[in-house]
């Protein structure tokens, strides 16, 4: 997840690739295929070129290439639906942490040999807080290629945060949702919420592959909150209330302690660091 946030920095209004014309970006979009959905980590585009970025937090391996190869071989019409570009030029990108990319010499060399036979796959590496640069492959745009070979600078912290995605564990979705609802409640001094308000609180996050899944995932996240004592029902299935009171510090502390405790659930910390 963290690597996705660093990649996303490139397309913020003050990011290097935003100024190259890549002013459109989608996080973990769902692209329909006959055999299911594909969900690349980021898709960004200008008026003719689409960058499809897959973030790999581990060391290089053949599975990375297999995954991004599927994005390269998609019919252009699949991207047209997403971007509105009639005949786009697709560039598929594998992004690694630089230290992980260099740590496995055999895996790195195998990947670079495979990449050398392709003209549509590019490798980037990231040094957090410093730069993302091109390591292999060539961009169709000379300007973009020059920028990425020299290194696109990054700010100190990635922002905005990508916190959840379609394959995030239910507990992680619940934690993000309940934290956002807590922040809303502190601003409005109203701890009650509806399903619509819950949906609005995480509207910037892509947590469902299809719109039809959103309500189901939200209700499951709320059920987690009920089970952990973080919220309770006011009207069954319609309205809920967070379990704290604005004028009672002890209830706020108890709520935040339970919310923080959710991170101790198995695999949550690993998921955040590795995806």
Residues 183, 144 within the same domain: no
pLDDT at 177: 96
Count up the domains in the chain and report the number.
Answer: 2
Residues 188, 122 within the same domain: no
Is the model more confident about 66 or about 245? 245
Residues 80, 175 within the same domain: no
pLDDT at 67: 82
**Is the pLDDT score of 266 beyond 70?**
no
Ordered DSSP codes for 69-131: HHHHTS-HHHHHHHH--SSPEEEEEEEEEHHHHHH-HHHHHHHHHHHHT-SSEEEEEEETTTE
* CATH at residue 218: 1.10.10
Residues 149, 177 within the same domain: no
Domain range holding 187? 170-274
The token pair that represents 120 in the structure block:
């549509």
pLDDT in tens, 15-73: 999 999 999 998 888 777 766 777 889 999 998 899 999 999 889 987 888 888 888 77
């Amino acid at each position: 997840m963290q690597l996705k946030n660093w990649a996303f920095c490139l397309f913020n209004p003050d990011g290097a690739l935003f100024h190259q014309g890549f002013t459109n970006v989608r996080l973990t979009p769902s692209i329909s295929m006959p055999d299911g959905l594909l969900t690349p980590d980021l898709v960004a585009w200008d008026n003719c070129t689409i960058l499809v970025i897959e973030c790999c937090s581990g060391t290089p391996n053949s599975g990375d290439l297999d995954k991004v190869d599927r994005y390269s071989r998609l019919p252009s019409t699949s991207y047209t639906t997403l971007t509105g570009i009639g005949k786009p030029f697709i560039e598929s990108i594998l992004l690694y942490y630089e230290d992980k990319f260099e740590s496995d010499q055999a895996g790195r060399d195998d990947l670079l040999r495979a990449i050398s036979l392709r003209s549509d796959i590019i490798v980037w590496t990231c040094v957090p807080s410093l730069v993302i640069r091109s390591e292999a492959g060539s961009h169709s745009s000379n300007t973009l290629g020059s920028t990425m070979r020299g290194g696109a600078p990054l700010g100190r912290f990635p922002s905005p945060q990508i916190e959840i995605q379609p394959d995030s564990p239910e507990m992680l979705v619940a934690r993000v949702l309940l934290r956002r609802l807590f922040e809303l409640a502190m601003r409005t001094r109203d701890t009650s919420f509806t399903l619509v308000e819950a949906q609005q609180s995480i509207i910037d996050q892509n947590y469902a592959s299809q719109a039809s899944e959103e309500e189901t995932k939200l209700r499951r996240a709320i059920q987690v909150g009920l089970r952990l004592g973080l919220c309770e029902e006011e009207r069954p299935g319609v309205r809920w209330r967070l379990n704290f009171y604005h004028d009672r510090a002890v209830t706020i502390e108890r709520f935040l302690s339970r919310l923080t405790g959710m991170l101790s659930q198995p695999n949550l910390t690993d998921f955040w660091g590795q995806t």
